[in-house]
């Protein structure tokens, strides 16, 4: 985890500026249907837990970072890795949505275990699903930082573009 933090510290400010609107879009796309953002379209009969907000914010920020970090040069292998990282970020967002959504509003869960099962089985598991979403997004971010490191152009006078 420390190398990831070290690499994040060395990103330029433009990357973080790009991450803000992307994270906001991710937050809206997860927050509206899960009713974490109050809206007239979706309702939530089960109260929102504090952990739902924590997972929502962390995953939105991670999604923003993954999509904001752009390799400067892409070879064919790097382009494939880039697609895989974006795919992992999208799956992380979906898993995050499952983790913060209303347990009885998820039709797949209700169909599988019923409404009482959704409350007694799925609701207690959701925080762990949220941790899985965070883990998936941290993994994607780590891979993205590695790709960025491999393809970043060195500044004039630098021998390598390593971020250590």
Burial-class residue 143 by CB neighbours within 10 Å (0-12, 13-18, 19+): middle
H or E segment and range at residue 154: none
Angle between helices 2-9 and 123-151 (to 10 degrees): 60
- Which structure tokens are listed for 1? 């985890």
pLDDT tens digit sequence for 85-137: 888 888 888 999 889 988 888 787 888 888 888 888 889 999 999 999 999 99
Structural domain boundaries in the chain: 2-151
- Tokens 């292998």 sit on residue: 77
Length of the chain in residues, anyone? 164
| Whether pLDDT at 161 is above 50 | no
Percent of the chain with pLDDT over 90: 34
User: In terms of Cα–Cα distance, which of 67, 90, 63 is closest to 148?
Assistant: 67
Coil, helix or strand at residue 106: coil
- Which structure tokens are listed for 91? 């799956």
Helices (H), the chain: 2-9, 13-31, 50-68, 76-100, 107-117, 123-151
Degrees, nearest 5: CA angle 48-51-52: 50
pLDDT of residue 163: 47
User: In terms of Cα–Cα distance, which of 20, 26, 7, 2 is closest to 92?
Assistant: 26
pLDDT of residue 130: 94
User: In terms of Cα–Cα distance, which of 16, 14, 32 is closest to 64?
Assistant: 16
């Amino acid at each position: 985890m420390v190398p990831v933090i070290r690499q994040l510290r060395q990103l330029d400010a433009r990357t973080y500026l790009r991450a803000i609107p992307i994270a906001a879009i991710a937050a809206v796309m997860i927050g509206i249907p899960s009713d974490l953002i109050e809206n007239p379209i979706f309702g939530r009969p089960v109260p929102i837990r504090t952990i739902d907000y924590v997972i929502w914010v962390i995953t939105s920020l991670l999604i923003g970072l993954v999509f904001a970090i752009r390799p400067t040069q892409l070879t064919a292998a790097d382009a494939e890795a880039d697609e895989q990282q974006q795919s992992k970020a999208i799956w992380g967002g979906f898993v995050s949505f499952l983790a913060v959504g209303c347990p009885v509003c998820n039709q797949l869960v209700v169909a599988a275990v019923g409404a009482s099962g959704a409350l007694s089985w799925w609701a207690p598991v959701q925080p762990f699903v949220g941790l899985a979403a965070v883990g998936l997004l941290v993994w994607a971010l780590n891979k993205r930082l590695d790709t960025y490191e491999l393809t970043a152009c060195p500044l004039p006078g630098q021998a390598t573009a390593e971020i250590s």
